[in-house]
Amino acid sequence: MAWLERTARKRTDPRQVLAEAKSIVCLAVAYGSPESQNPKSEARNPNSEFGNPKFLGLTARYARYADYHDVIAERLRALTEFLNQLGGEGTRSLWYVDTGPFLERDLAQRAGLGFVGKHTNLISRRLGNWIFLAEIITTLELAPDEPEKNRCGSCARCLAACPTAAITAPFQLDARRCISYLTIELKGSIPVELRPAIGNRIYGCDDCLAVCPWNRFAHEGGLMKEHARSELATPDLLELLALDEAGFKCRFAGTPMLRTKRRGLLRNVCVALGNIGDVSALPALERAAQDPEPLIAEHARWAMDEIQSRQSETAVHK
């Protein structure tokens, strides 16, 4: 996460991004769905169904669509052009979708879109926790909106829900323990002591978002709905583990999951299989242990050890 340090000056001074900037327009796009309003909808292990021969992974809800950067960009271009026309000659505006050097959540709270919750994510009273953020920085001077105030109250469900205790205190997150960081941002080996808590998650984690009471008021996201990729929600882990480089790129083209690259995703798949797999997963893991990518091979060996250890314990207790 060294990029945070590299862009620190721009994050604290927007004029480092656009000279003579006078306003920042903050936007939110909902990606909620009917099931995302129910915190228990994915609480059960989908692999526990009687007669289910598959080992299923779990991806964060936002990754179950075409890449939101591309989808939202189409609307942002049009809105940015409108602002430039509104301001007249000499007006300049730049748009960003979760990529600009801005303190997005702070800006969104100041703009009245929502408030930063105890899990450190933005919560909207109308859209719940399931939102993407975007910004347009412009030289056009606009009247500011009223900021939103924090409305968490005494609720601490998100702290209790975090599988790795990454939310160390209200409004404080240790990113090094966060499953979203571990499965997406981290490029190297996942710390051994945190692997069991990852469960069958292979890309991100929604636990702290899903338990928030404000999701009761969330609306289904219309813009993202037509870009849904339901097959990404709970993919077959053994199928994923068999992907070569070309197969990986083909399967995840145009989705956020392409970001982890094959080495990162298959690393995560190995950890998930180590947590939920049984001896039937060993042949696939044995092949993965011979993968030319050391990161995949190391996590495959760990997964094999975990499965074999559980098998030995089961045999002892019989």
> What's the pLDDT score for residue 40?
52
Tens place of pLDDT per residue across the chain (318 aa): 555 566 666 667 888 889 899 999 999 999 987 665 554 545 445 554 434 558 999 999 999 999 999 999 999 999 999 999 999 999 999 999 987 788 999 999 999 999 999 999 999 999 999 999 999 999 999 999 999 999 999 999 999 999 999 999 999 999 999 999 999 999 999 999 999 999 999 999 999 999 999 999 887 888 999 999 999 999 999 999 999 999 999 999 999 999 999 999 999 999 999 999 999 999 999 999 999 999 999 999 999 999 999 988 777 666
Q: Kindly list the catalytic residues.
A: 98
Please state, in angstroms and as integers, the Cα–Cα distance from residue 231 to each residue in 49, 64, 137, 144, 228, following that order: 18, 8, 36, 41, 9
Q: Chain-centre distance of CA 279, in angstroms?
A: 30
The answer as to whether 306 is a domain residue is no
| Interstrand relation of 131-138 and 93-96 (parallel, antiparallel or unpaired) | antiparallel
Q: How many domains does the chain have?
A: 1
> What's the pLDDT score for residue 70?
93
The answer as to whether 9 is a domain residue is yes
> Which secondary-structure segment (H or E) carries 22?
none
Longest dimension (CA), the chain: 80
What is the DSSP secondary-structure string of 30-56? E---GGGG-TTTTTS-GGGSTT----B
How far apart are the C-alpha atoms of 129 and 214, rounded to whole Å? Answer: 7
The answer as to whether 230 is a domain residue is yes
> What's the pLDDT score for residue 317?
65
The answer as to whether 58 is a domain residue is yes
Q: What angle do CA 132, 137, 138 make, to 5 degrees?
A: 145
Q: What is the DSSP letter of 183?
A: I
> What's the pLDDT score for residue 99?
79
The answer as to whether 299 is a domain residue is no
- Write out the residue range of the structural domain in which residue 145 sits: 3-235
> What's the pLDDT score for residue 2?
59
Dihedral angle, C-alpha 62, 260, 10, 4, nearest 10 °? 110
Helix (H, G, I), strand (E, B) or coil at 296: helix
The answer as to whether 192 is a domain residue is yes
> What's the pLDDT score for residue 49?
45
Q: Is 100 exposed, middle or buried (0-12, 13-18, 19+ CB in 10 A)?
A: buried
The answer as to whether 301 is a domain residue is no
The answer as to whether 100 is a domain residue is yes
